Amino acid sequence: MSIVYIGIGSNLGDRKANCMRAIELLAGKGIVVRKESSLYETDPWGDKNQPKFLNMAIEIETEIKPQDLLSLLADIEKELGRKRSYKWGPRVIDLDILLYNSLTIDEDDLKIPHPFMHERDFVLKPLYEIAPDVKHPVLNLSAGELLQKL
């Protein structure tokens, strides 16, 4: 079994319900949700002219391989009504693989660890809440150490 950390965000519609529904859908697809962070209201990143986000992180256990998990997350986003408009635009739901065990993957459509996670407090705060000592496999710093550097 692999331990994976997923970032969840929403800034359209019922933001809390969108995040909770995404977790429910994941739990029904061969995934054990082990930990959930609190919800954090945050300013948008990139395009500032949009509603605030609710963000959180979860720790899951799964046998699903990284590429298949990415596809599953995209399917759940679509099921919840996400329509891709433009980069860093508003969204009903956003599901990102932050860490997958200690793997590093650099493919066109999949980058693990998430390439911007160490720059974003809305990722690091919820991750720190549920896994303060989890290490970034490239930077070799814990979630707590990364958060302190921001």
120-140 residue pLDDT tens: 999 999 999 999 999 999 999
What gap in Å lies between CA 60 and CA 12, rounded to an integer? 25
Domains of the chain (ranges; CATH) run 2-149 (3.30.70.560)
Is residue 72 within 8 A of residue 80, CB to CB? The reply is no
| pTM for this predicted structure | 0.94
Neighbours of 83 (CB within 10 A): 11
| H or E segment to which residue 91 belongs | none
Residue 86 in this model has a pLDDT that exceeds 80 = no
What gap in Å lies between CA 25 and CA 73, rounded to an integer? 10
Q: Which of 14, 21, 34, 94 is catalytic?
A: 94
What gap in Å lies between CA 64 and CA 79, rounded to an integer? 19
pLDDT of residue 84: 67
pLDDT of residue 81: 80
Mean pLDDT of the region 15-28: 94
Single-letter amino acid code for the residue at 75: D
Band of residue 150 on the pLDDT scale cut at 50, 70, 90? confident
Mean pLDDT of the region 12-21: 96
Q: Which of 14, 15, 43, 82 is catalytic?
A: 82
Q: Assess whether 109 carries a catalytic annotation.
A: no
Q: Assess whether 82 carries a catalytic annotation.
A: yes
Q: Assess whether 14 carries a catalytic annotation.
A: no
Single-letter amino acid code for the residue at 49: N
Q: Assess whether 94 carries a catalytic annotation.
A: yes
Neighbours of 117 (CB within 10 A): 23
95 contacts: CB under 8 Å, gap ≥ 6:
6, 7, 8, 22, 73, 74, 76, 77
